[in-house]
Amino acid sequence: MKVCKVLLRECVRQTDKAYTYKIPSDMEEKVVQGSYVKVPFGFGNRKQIALVVSVSDYTEDLGFAPSKLKDIDSLLDLYPVVNKNQLAMIEPLKSRLLCTSGDVITMMVPSAVGTVAKAKASFVSIKSREEAEAVLASGKLRSVTHIHILEQLLANGPTERKTLLASAKATDAQLRGLRDKDLIEITTRMLTRDEIESEVQSPAEVSSDSFRVVHELNDEQGKAYKEVCDSLGKPQVFLLHGITGSGKTEVYLKCAGEVLDRGGCVIYLVPEISLTPQTVSWIRGRFGDTAAVMHSRLTDRQRFDEWDRIRRGEARIVVGPRSSIFAPVEDLKLIIIDEEHDSSYKSESFPRYNTRDIAIMRMKLSSCPLILGSATPLVTSYYSAQKGVYKLLKLNKRAAEDAVLPEVTVVDMKKQIQEGYGELISGPLRVAMAKAFSKDQQVMLFLNRRGYARTLVCSTCGEPANCPNCSVAMTLHNYRRSSERLLICHYCGYTIPSGECVCRECEGTKFKRAGVGTQQLEEMLKELYPDRKVLRMDQDTTMQPGAHERILGEFRDHKADILVGTQMIAKGHDFPSVTVVGVLGADLISMSSDYKSSERAFELITQAAGRAGRGNEPGKVFLQSLHTDNPLLMYAASQDYEAFYESEIAYREVMKLPPFKAVGEVVLSLPDEDMLMKRTADVGRYLKDFLSYQDKSLGFELYGPVPAPIYELRGRYRNVFMIKSHKKSYLNEVYRQIMEDFDPNLYPLSFDNDAGGS
Ligand code: ADP
Ligand code: ZN
C-alpha cells in the first residue's frame, strides 16, 4: 500500500503541516511527488486542494493504522505541478516570507490548474437593439456605467463578460442591474475552438514591425558574455552595469542563447511594464516556441498553457515579470533580472517577497549564474559589487555605432519664472521643441507626480517642507480627527500642524501644494502648439486595459508630436524620432518621504534622458529645476552613476540605512480610527519593551508609530512602525514573535523586512 504526505493549499498556521493520506490502488501510478490532488480534510471531510510532497510505501513507523488513514480523493492534473527544485524552496520561502506552505504553493501553481480544462466563459448581449437605443435616447438611465455598457454592446455585439467589465469599468452588480431591467442577457457557454485559438495569438503580437536585429557583440559586450559563460554551472551573481542603450539586452540574449544551445533552461525577468506587444513579438521571433512569455494580457487559460509548456520542458526560456521567478523550470542554468532596480520586483501584496532574494535562493539551489542588469543599479546592489560579493560587468558606451549620449542641460526655473515663461515650459525647452517640430521630430515631456502632491513647498523660494531631523520632505496628512492638516516626517515621526511650518531656507511661512499635474500641462501645450497633437499617459488615461499600449503605439507611429506623462513613459520604450526630452520639476522627484527617493529620482531622470536620441539624431534633454545646485541633478545631467553612488552610499552609512542596516516595517490597519490609535499604542509598548531586552549586538532601533504614507486605504486606517537592525533575519525573528503574541483578528498586522519598494 502506498501513502503520501501532502500540504494543504488553503492552510492556516495550525494546519500548515504535512498530512498523510492513502493512495487508492487505481491511483498509485499517477500520484507522485509534486502531484496536485484533492483530499478530504477535517471532521466534515471537506475537499481541499493539496500538494503531494512525498510518496512512500506504508510502514508501521508512520504511527497510523491503515484504517485511520483517509484516501486521496482525486488527482487534479496528470502531471506534477511543482518539481523537486521548487519543492526544495517551500521551507526556506516560508521562513523568509513568514507565510504558510499554502501561500508558497499559491505563488507557484497557477490558479487555473485543475479548472482550466473546461474552457467556459460568460457572454453578455443586448436583448433588443431597438429597446436599448430607445432607453439610451430617453435619458432615463441614471448610471453612467450602465450607459457605457449599453453603448459598448451596441457597438461591439455580444462580448465576453470579463472583457466588458474591464472596458466599461463596471462591476457584476451593475451588470445584474441592467439584466434586471431586462435590457441585457448573460449566458454561459463553452468557448469554440476558434475563440480559444484567437485568444492565444492576439493580432498585435505577431506584427513584424518589431523585428530585432541580432548584432555581433562589441568588445565590452563580448567580455561580459564570456565572464557569464565561464561561470555556467556555478552560483555567481553578476551586476551588469551599462548605460541605457549600451546593449545589455543583447548580452542577456546571447547568454540565454548559449544556455539553450547547451540544453539548459533560463528565467529572464523584466518589469511588467516593458512586456509590451512589441517586446513579446521580438522575443517570440528570436526564440520561437522555446520561449514562454508571461504577461498581463494573457487570459487564465493562456497563462496556464504557457506555464504548462514550461513544466513539460517544451518551453525552456521563461520571459516574464516577477512572479516568473517561481516558474516550474527544471534544469535551470541561468537567471536574468533586467532593470534590477525596478520597484515592481518587490511584491506589494502579501507575501511581500523581493524577487532578487528569491532569485539568489534559486541560483544557489540550481547552482547557476544570476545576472542583474541596470543602467542605474540599486545602491545596495552596487555596494555588493564593490565588496566583491557580486561580480561587476561594465558597458560604458552606447552600442549602436552612431548613437551618442544626449546633451543634457539643467535649466534654472527660478530665472525662467522671472523671465515670464511660467513654471512649466522654459525658454530653452521651447526653442528646442520648435526646432524638433520643424524637422518633424517628436518630443517627450516627463512630469513625475510620485509623492509630491502630498508635500508642501515654500511659496517664496520653492523649498520643500523638510523635516528638521532627517532632511527628507514631510508628508501632508488630513486627519479626520483633527481639524488641522499635519506635516509628518515618515522617518522619525516629527509632526507639526501645517500652519506652523517655517521654511528652513528663507524663513517664509506661506506654503502651497507642490507641483502641477499632467492634465494642466497638456492643456497648456494645446494652447502653445495648437496644431501639434498631444498624447497624455498617466494613471487617468491608462485605466482601461490596453490603453497603455494604444497610447505608446500611436506615439510610435508618429500620430502625435508630444507625449506627456508620469514615470510610466520614462522606462524602456524606444522611440527613434524623439529628439527632445523635458524633465519638468526635476528637483521635486526626490521629494518623496522614503530613503529610496534619491535613488529613484536618479533612475527616473537617467531613464527619461535615455529616451532622447535613440535613433540617428542626437538628443537634447532639459532638466528643469528650481534648485540647480542640487548635486543629484548634476550627477544625473552628466549621467555619472559612480558619483551619485559615492554620495548616496556615504549618506546611507551616516543614516544607518541599507546596506548598512536592514529597515523593516510593522503595519497595523483597522477600519476604526479610534481603535487604531488604541491598539497602535499597545503594539508600540510591546515593541519598545521587547526590543530593549534584545542583545545590543543585534542593532535594533525602533521608530514611530507614524501614519502610513497612504493613511486611509480601502476603508482602513494604517499606522507604521519602523524597525532597524543589522540583519533582515533578525527582523524576521521579531515578526515571528509578534505573530505569536498578538491575535491577528484584533491586531491585523503586516510585516516587511525590506521597507520602501524593491
Ligand atoms: P540596453 O538594453 O543596454 O538599453 P539594447 O540592448 O537595447 O541596450 O541596445 C541598444 C541598441 O543598440 C539597440 O538598438 C540594439 O539593437 C543596438 N545594439 C546592441 N548591441 C549592438 C552591437 N554590438 N552593435 C551594434 N548595435 C548594437
Ligand atoms: Zn524626521
Task: Say how many Å lie between the CA of residue 179 and the centre of ligand 2.
Answer: 55
Task: Say how many Å lie between the CA of residue 469 and the centre of ligand 2.
Answer: 5
Over residues 160-169, the pLDDT tens digits come to 888 888 888 8
Of 248-262, 334-348, 391-405, 552-566, minimum mean pLDDT range = 391-405
Rounded to 5 degrees, what angle do the CA atoms 234, 84, 733 make?
80
**Section 525-543 average pLDDT:** 86
Rounded to 5 degrees, what angle do the CA atoms 354, 360, 366 make?
135
What's at 682, amino acid-wise? D
If we measure between CA atoms, which residue out of 160, 136, 130 comes closest to residue 148?
136
Q: What distance in Å separates the CA atoms of residue 747 and residue 744, rounded to the nearest whole number?
A: 5
697: which DSSP letter? G
**Section 460-481 average pLDDT:** 75
Asked if 477 contacts 486 with a C-beta cutoff of 8 angstroms, the reply is yes
pLDDT of 722 reads: 92
Judge whether residue 471 has pLDDT over 90: no
Over residues 199-239, the pLDDT tens digits come to 544 434 444 444 567 889 999 999 999 999 999 999 999 99
- Would you call 551 helix, strand, or coil by DSSP? helix
Other Cβ atoms closer than 10 A to 40? 14
Q: Which atom of ligand 1 is least distant from the CA of 217?
A: 23
Closest Cα to atom 19 of ligand 1: 247
CA dihedral 734, 739, 742, 747 (to 10 degrees): 100
Query: Distance of alpha carbon 671 from its chain centroid, rounded?
Result: 27
Q: What percent of the chain has pLDDT over 90?
A: 46
Over residues 683-720, the pLDDT tens digits come to 999 999 999 999 999 999 999 898 887 777 777 889 99
What ranges in 493-640 are assigned the alpha helix state H?
518-528, 547-556, 597-609, 631-637
Q: Is the peptide bond before 40 cis (omega within 30 degrees of 0)?
A: no
Other Cβ atoms closer than 10 A to 659? 17
Ligand 1: list residues with CB < 6 Å: 213, 215-218, 221, 242, 244-250, 399-400
Strands of 382-532 (E only): list them: 391-395, 407-412, 442-447, 456-458, 475-477, 486-488, 495-497, 511-513
pLDDT of 664 reads: 92
Which CA distances in Å does 244 have to 181, 277, 338, 392, 484? 56, 21, 12, 17, 46
pLDDT of 627 reads: 79
Q: Indicate the pLDDT class of residue 753, thresholds 50, 70 and 90.
A: confident
Using a 10 angstrom Cβ sphere, with 0-12 exposed, 13-18 middle and 19 or more buried, the burial of residue 25 is exposed
Quote the crossing angle between the two packed helices 219-230 and 248-261, to the nearest 10°.
Answer: 40
pLDDT of 704 reads: 85
pLDDT top residue among 574 and 171 = 171
pLDDT of 120 reads: 60
149: which DSSP letter? H
pLDDT of 206 reads: 43
Q: What distance in Å separates the CA atoms of residue 430 and residue 409, rounded to the nearest whole number?
A: 13
**Section 481-502 average pLDDT:** 80
Judge whether residue 423 has pLDDT over 80: no
Task: Say how many Å lie between the CA of residue 235 and the centre of ligand 2.
Answer: 41
Over residues 113-157, the pLDDT tens digits come to 877 554 566 788 888 888 888 888 887 888 888 888 888 888 888
Q: Indicate the pLDDT class of residue 677, thresholds 50, 70 and 90.
A: very high
Over residues 620-670, the pLDDT tens digits come to 999 998 878 888 888 988 888 999 999 999 989 998 999 999 999 999 999
Average pLDDT, the chain: 86
Tell which one of 212, 215, 255 to mutate to probe ligand 1, the residue whose CB is within 8 A of the most ligand atoms: 215
pLDDT top residue among 575 and 502 = 502
- Overall pTM surpassing 0.75 (yes/no): yes
Task: Say how many Å lie between the CA of residue 209 and the centre of ligand 1.
Answer: 17
Nearest ligand, CA 373 = 1
Task: Say how many Å lie between the CA of residue 352 and the centre of ligand 1.
Answer: 34
Asked if 77 contacts 51 with a C-beta cutoff of 8 angstroms, the reply is no
Which of 94-98, 230-234, 438-442: highest mean pLDDT?
A: 230-234
pLDDT of 190 reads: 59
Of 117-126, 290-299, 344-353, minimum mean pLDDT range = 117-126
Judge whether residue 93 has pLDDT over 90: yes
